[in-house]
Amino acid sequence: MNQVREYLEQIVALDDKNWEVFSSKLKKSEFSKKTVLVKTGQVENHLSFIEKGTVRFYIPKVENDITFGFKFENQFISAYDSFITQSKSQYQLETMTPTTLWRLTFSDLQDIYNNTTVGETIGRKVAENLFMMKTKRELSLLNDTAEERYLKLFSEQKRFIKEIPLKYLASYIGVTPQALSRIRKRIS
């Protein structure tokens, strides 16, 4: 649970009183590999912090899923648009490895917004951060070729390349597995 506090402290000053409210809501859950955390058509009811593990964001398809994100330990995850609006999720979250989460429900979060002085600020900053990451990715999808996106991943996030199956990476980059296989060949 200290990991969560440390993460939040980076965002906003958090005194013991605020942390008390926050931490009293957190519930620990463990999931095995390939567990679907949120299914399409369901309403996301959790905002979760990854203590350990890897989670994939994707739209399930008969042939190949469209994978559009990966999250690792020390990051918050959620089908956040579904969560915020409490409407059906368009995409799924699935663990790629055994995963430990600290979770808040939607009503937990409303309590935090109402009963802490820093809740809203945290919520704002988290949303701002999510927005900035999406902006960066959008520009990369428009600006860079598939090969450039792959090379960027390689330099910025070596971890991605090593742990994640090619077919998911390919989708994330925006090409077919065959195309990424050829890109790899061309580079090396």
Partner DNA sequence: CTTTTTTTTTGACAAATGTCAGAAGAAGAC
Partner DNA sequence: GTCTTCTTCTGACATTTGTCAAAAAAAAAG
Sign, CA torsion 76/131/157/185: positive
Looking at 1, 36, 127, 166, which residue binds a copy of itself (CB under 8 A)? 127
Q: Which is nearer to a copy of itself, 143 or 188 (CB)?
A: 143
Per CB under 8 A, contacts with a copy of itself among 31-50 are none
Q: Which residues contact 10 (CB under 8 A, 6 or more apart)?
A: none
Residues 157-186, one symbol each (x = binds a copy of itself by CB under 8 A, - = not), give: --------------x--x------------
Regarding 24 and contact with DNA (CB under 7 A), the answer is no
* Closest C-alpha to 172, from 144, 187, 186: 144
Measured between alpha carbons, how far is 70 from 168 in angstroms, rounded to an integer? Answer: 9
Report 126-165 residues binding DNA (CB under 7 A).
145-147, 165
Whose Cβ is closer to DNA: residue 104's or residue 175's?
A: 175
Angle ∠(16,19,24) on CA atoms, nearest 5: 125
